[in-house]
Amino acid sequence: MDVVVEPGLGWMELNEYLKPYGLFFPLDPGPGASIGGMCGTRCSGSLAVRYGTMKDNVLAMKVVLANGDLIKTANRARKSSAGYDLTRLMIGSEGTLGVITEVTLKVQKIPEASVVAICSFPSIKDAADVAIATMHCGIQVSRVELLDEVMVKILNDANGTDFQVAPTLMFEFIGTDAYAHEQNLRVKKIAEEHQGSGFQYFDSPEDKETLWRMRKEALWACLAAAPHAEAMTTDVCVPLTRLADCITKSKEVLDASPLLCPIVSHAGDGNFHTIILFDPSNEEHTKEATRLNEFMVHTALAMNGTCTGEHGVGTGKLKYMEEELGYEALKTMKKLKHALDPNNIMNPGKIIPPHVCL
């Protein structure tokens, strides 16, 4: 139930390799993501609500440090109390502490059966409330994805479908065939209690593959809807109980903007993305896109959330790090960075703002 890979391997290629064994690696970020990049950004994806993020699915690594030392962060054991957790120190470090050369990953059994369900709602808040209620009921969903009406229309146009143009939830239930259908009925009841309508479920492999392909290709559908625009992809995450408030407050501002701003959300773990489509050659568009992004980040932070749920910090979100974590936490990160990379040769300028000094 584990596999050793090198960092350049893509997660989709890995799953092609694992499929004949009846296994899969459950993290599913952007289609082109590699295992090394996924470790570097501590990414997740739509299946995180069931299987966790990258930090929960990596058992061990081999990493080359700035001085040339090759370290092994752990063994293959599923748990260990032996010393500092170097594996999770490296996950999310974005190449600032070392170069990953090998990763040992947990893999999962491909579920016996799955059911995908779709339901529409009169408002984004109603949809988010159903996602929250589903999680609070302890229903074992593997995916809970939320699309606003703007995104649904874009996906309909791109794929020739006719789903109701309204805030929409997409669920996936896995397990035995009986269990998956039972959970589907439980969620249908919850949805109906929150004004949900048009509840549909799909259990044929072709229908399920089509629906998730549409969702995974949402970014490309957005770019096709605005062919002369670029996309600023945002990525905030809040405690699950604040998701409805955060999305509702953000959507009021997004809807008032002249820019096209569809929303997609990993609603089961409080994470949502707005794809802001703007013309980078238009100064007013660029200012507006930046304003919208900053509004959502500050709204999430005010709700005890984070400026990045899975995309990472890089340089673009350096300015939010102190507001989120505080200066002392950043100074501690700086000490770790200096201890492992005193000459600052590993991806300098990432994660830690330049004003943080020892």
> CB-based contacts of 29: which residues, under 8 Å, 6+ apart?
11, 38, 43, 44, 45, 310
Residues 163 and 145: beta-carbon distance below 8 Å: no
What are the Cα distances from residue 58, in Å, to 5, 43, 286? 11, 12, 38
Share of the chain above pLDDT 70, in %: 100
What CATH number should be reported for the domain holding residue 36?
Answer: 3.30.465.10
Q: Is residue 260 part of a domain?
A: no
83 and 123 share one domain: no
pLDDT at 167: 96
Boundary-marking domain end, from 62, 85, 109: 109
Q: Is residue 321 part of a domain?
A: no
Residues 123 and 167: beta-carbon distance below 8 Å: yes
Q: Tens digits of per-residue pLDDT, 299-336?
A: 999 999 999 999 999 999 999 999 999 999 999 999 99
Q: Tens digits of per-residue pLDDT, 127-176?
A: 999 999 999 988 889 999 999 999 999 999 999 999 999 999 999 999 99
62 and 129 share one domain: no
41 and 104 share one domain: yes
Boundary-marking domain end, from 172, 198, 215: 215
Q: What is the rounded CA–CA span in Å between residue 206 and residue 89?
A: 40
Residues 247 and 273: beta-carbon distance below 8 Å: no
10 and 100 share one domain: yes
Number of domains the chain is built from: 2
pLDDT at 138: 85
pLDDT at 210: 92
Q: What is the mean pLDDT of the chain?
A: 95
140 and 90 share one domain: no
Q: Is residue 222 part of a domain?
A: no
Average pLDDT over residues 263-286: 95
pLDDT at 262: 97
* Phi, psi for 235 (deg, rounded to 5): -160, 85
Q: What is the rounded CA–CA span in Å between residue 34 and residue 14?
A: 10
pLDDT at 139: 87
11 and 56 share one domain: yes
pLDDT at 45: 92
CB atoms within 10 A of CB 151: 26
What are the Cα distances from residue 271, in Å, to 43, 46, 123, 127, 338? 12, 10, 18, 14, 32
Q: Is residue 265 part of a domain?
A: no
Q: What is the rounded CA–CA span in Å between residue 170 and residue 165?
A: 14
Burial class of residue 287, CB neighbours in 10 A (0-12, 13-18, 19+): exposed
Boundary-marking domain end, from 52, 81, 109: 109
Q: Tens digits of per-residue pLDDT, 62-105?
A: 999 999 999 999 999 999 999 999 999 999 999 999 999 999 99
Burial class of residue 289, CB neighbours in 10 A (0-12, 13-18, 19+): buried
Rg of the chain, C-alpha, whole Å: 21
Q: Is residue 179 part of a domain?
A: yes
93 and 149 share one domain: no
Per-residue pLDDT for 187 more than 90?
yes
Give the domain range for residue 160: 113-215
pLDDT at 111: 94
> CB-based contacts of 319: which residues, under 8 Å, 6+ apart?
353
User: Please, where are the H alpha helices in 161-217?
Assistant: 177-193, 205-216
Q: Is residue 319 part of a domain?
A: no
Q: What is the rounded CA–CA span in Å between residue 265 and residue 254?
A: 15
What CATH number should be reported for the domain holding residue 157?
Answer: 3.30.70.2190
pLDDT at 4: 98
Q: Is residue 62 part of a domain?
A: yes
Q: Tens digits of per-residue pLDDT, 34-63?
A: 999 999 999 999 999 999 999 999 999 999
Q: Is residue 178 part of a domain?
A: yes
Tokens for 163, please give them. Answer: 């789903």
